[in-house]
Structure 1
């Protein structure tokens, strides 16, 4: 292209036409423009390509004085390794040392070390998240104290509660047998209260059973079927509500206290072990940019980097955007620096990692210019027309008004690439399958998945055996791609294809050693 520009050769290449139009419009010296293009082409491969985390790592290691980075720190890719150790320690050093009611609540609410790790990861992905006062450790400890107080008050009433329950069950045993079966559940309830009389704490299984005995559930069932045949629910049965509410109050307090524990222990653990996780790289650069040496650091970075192109920007979180903006955002009207953000909010898929589509929407309002790509060079005109019809008929297809839908046009509208089946002509650009159960009832997820696997495998087999072709080339299994959301779905799909004798290759991010 640079040679064509230099020699003035007219080309029908859209990019060449674009560049030639710019040169003509601005009366730029063609020879000088050629040299710039040639120089850019020669140095193109020298442009650093990195993730935001590796970019931050290079900033820390290149400017340890300005950032306060310890060069001997070991970088580990996943914070989960650290969190697993802390979660086990939290259980061992805190939860297991609490009153048996607290331990039972933790088990009932499945506050296992594994669940804690997932909860903590979610919180850590939200950079800059601050705890409100009502979520403080002190408030949580007070809530746990109050919940334990309620349960201990009940301890003095167990004998009376047991007597009232026995009397009420005897009066309504016919109703209860129909509602709860052969009386096994009733026996379990008496066993629970009897153990409480003896001073034992509620087990997680006991709490689940007691939840079914809440007065409003019993009254609801009585009113519906046996209102005239039953006596009123005894007042003492309200103890069930106290137990269930107290257990959830205990669990909520534990979650909050676990956050306070994490906030205190995670930095200590990492400092003692001499390790950093990926998000630490980002946080430390952000802190350095805001610190006393921040202006000097920004000046030096701008001396190295003149522009940043951020691909898949829709998967950026607020902190990442702030770091990029502090370093690269040009002054108004300035051409010294460029921050080019490339993305599509409709493709935002990493919210579980902290990605925030609102970061994209905020940036779209702040940038000086917005360009929209409306030509698609990868898909057939038929498919693009179908997609335009699907999304273009809805006034707000992506919930948020800021994320609109603009029609997409084929880069090559005259493309003859078509899927053609011998004897039946061209296949439609897009086909949607609907599934219904027997008697028009909706399918369960597992039923729908099983039916989809079979349908897809059957359709692939049909295409392979139909004499179908693309550009007069007979299609083979290698022409067909099946997209899924999860690795497990891909494995299941591959098994079904194998049953249909269709060869397939699995493309996944998992290690080959994870397969059996």
Structure 2
């Protein structure tokens, strides 16, 4: 990537700027913002998007401060300024009075600045363009969806779970499947339509009567032929006797029989290695514990236990079927709530605007948004998810003369837990007109910068993906190595190798 010169680039392009930590990302945003103002873009027409309310407030403060200082220097003595923006604008002598007038007007009207979070932008766009987006006029934003998710989850269990067979309810209890567990499992995914279900559909199999018949046969064998099974296993020369010992085998048989006597055909056996003892007599387990070259012990009891294991796997698939059904149930309930109450969650704002822009008749919506916003800058772009990028690319990237800046660092992607997708960043990099990088690190000591450069330059793909490059940065000439001990500069990047048997203090 080429180093960025914010005063030489053609701003009427789609531009990706890679800004490593400490390279002046926010300073660059304020520079580009002030340049747009100087070139005639009204303050309310420049959209700046970031990801949190705190970041938006901080960015607004920093931009206003830069605007104020730039204007003051231009009006007083621009030659005394060390600010590259002031020097750049002061060279435009013929248009300098007009530039100052524009900056002054922007400062007066700065309360109208469009600096906001992605969710605020989507909410504002949907409300102001209700006709074009086919959305409700009265949208009520609900910040916390936990109460709604809880209500839907309990409603789902009441209508679709509690009336299921008692055996399957025992299976759910065994796996601690409750309305609360569904809430915890699906909280991060219920409002992300881009997620594809795999498998897409799993049928719910009603095999519970067949399961009970198998249990009845197993119980009969345990009551009348347990000694026969015990003798067969203990006399088999190929079975691992450390596991299938004289102590273990009778105990496993007794435990299984006792459970059946207590619970009868309602008994649910956990057919896993750490589950109930009956699993030890499945053919699946016997294969693992029989020496190579020896035939497996044969008995009707082992076949029945294997069938019980297959039923247990069907129960697992039934749980998957239930989860898929819950997602459909939640989506339907969500749409119903939005239509009746007008309540929207944060994710719904992004999903609804993205869906509106995907429609064939979205040209009026795109035109309306572009009339409002003549330029766009996105901060922390590496944390953008595919739906968010789709919104901005449709609105700004597809229009050739709109300044559209995406500023971020793929090495700092931290919001994967809420949908941030590094591949959205890589796609934007491919689709942008130009890509630049910020090459100076203003935060770290020169020796630390050199050390990081050395480490990450030793591998061709230090971040695994070949599309994520490592671009070396430099420290400014005024930077100093300030970490000193006894008049000697201490290396700021050090590695300590500790042997396994050494205690770390």
User: Shift of residue 125 of structure 1?
Assistant: 4.8
Separation of aligned partners in 2, 1:77 and 1:180: 59
The aligned residue for residue 463 of structure 2 is 398
Task: Pick one of 420, 442, 459 that aligns with 2:484.
Answer: 420
Matched, 1:245 2:313: yes
2:233·2:297 contact (CA, 8 Å) conserved in 1?
yes
| Structure 1 residues 172 and 372, CA gap change in structure 2 (3 angstroms) | same
Distance 2:210 2:449 in 1: 63
Alignment of 1:171-250 (within 5 A): 171-172=232-233, 176=243, 178=245, 185-194=252-261, 198-202=264-268, 208-209=275-276, 210-211=278-279, 213-223=281-291, 234-250=302-318
The match for 1:76 is 142
Out of 127, 134, 139, the position equivalent to 2:193 is: 127
Deviation at 1:374, TM superposition (A): 1.7
Q: Which one of 59, 62, 77 corresponds to residue 128 of structure 2?
A: 62
Partner residue, 2:432: 367
Going from structure 1 to structure 2, the CA distance change for 1:35 and 1:273 (only over 3 Å counts) comes to closer
Q: Distance in 2 between matches of 1:262 and 1:213?
A: 41
| Corresponding position: 1:49 with 2:112 | no
Partner of 2:334: 266
Q: Which residue of 1 aligns with 2:14?
A: none
What is the aligned residue count?
424
Partner of 2:47: none
C-alpha distance in 1 between matches for 2:254 and 2:158: 34
RMSD (Å), alpha carbons: 3.6
Structure 2 residue aligned with 1:9 = 79
CA contact (8 A) 1:105 1:250 kept: no
Q: Summarize deviations over 1:129-169 as a string: whole Å, max 9, x none.
A: 4557x623xx423xx23x54652552463345535655223
| Aligned CA distance change for structure 1 residues 87 and 424 (closer, same or farther; 3 Å) | farther
Question: Secondary structure of the equivalent of 2:275?
Answer: helix
Q: Which residue of 2 aligns with 1:488?
A: none
- Mapped partners of 2:434, 2:425: distance in 1: 14
1:88 equivalent among 133, 137, 154: 154
Cα offsets for 1:183-239 (capped at 9, x unmatched): 65543223345457x321306599922445543333323428xx9999557444423
Matched, 1:317 2:382: no
Cα displacement (A) at 1:121: 2.7
CA change 1:192–1:391 in 2 (3 A) is farther
Change (3 A) 1:425 1:218: farther
With normalisation by structure 1, the TM-score equals 0.71
Question: Residues 342 and 99 from structure 1, CA distance in 2 versus in 1: closer, same or farther, beyond 3 angstroms?
Answer: same
Distance 1:102 1:212 in 2: 22
Q: Secondary structure at the match of 2:141?
A: strand
Question: Please, which of 196, 218, 224 is the counterpart of residue 158 of structure 1?
Answer: 218
Which of 95, 103, 117 is the matching residue for 2:183? 117
What is the aligned counterpart of 2:356 among 264, 270, 288?
Answer: 288
Q: Aligned-pair distance for 1:311?
A: 0.7
The aligned residue for residue 412 of structure 2 is 347
Report 1 or 2 for greater relative contact order, CA contacts < 8 Å, sequence distance ≥ 6: 2
Could you say which residue in structure 1 is the equivalent of 2:8?
none
Cα offset for 1:343? 1.1
In structure 2, the partner of 1:387 is 452
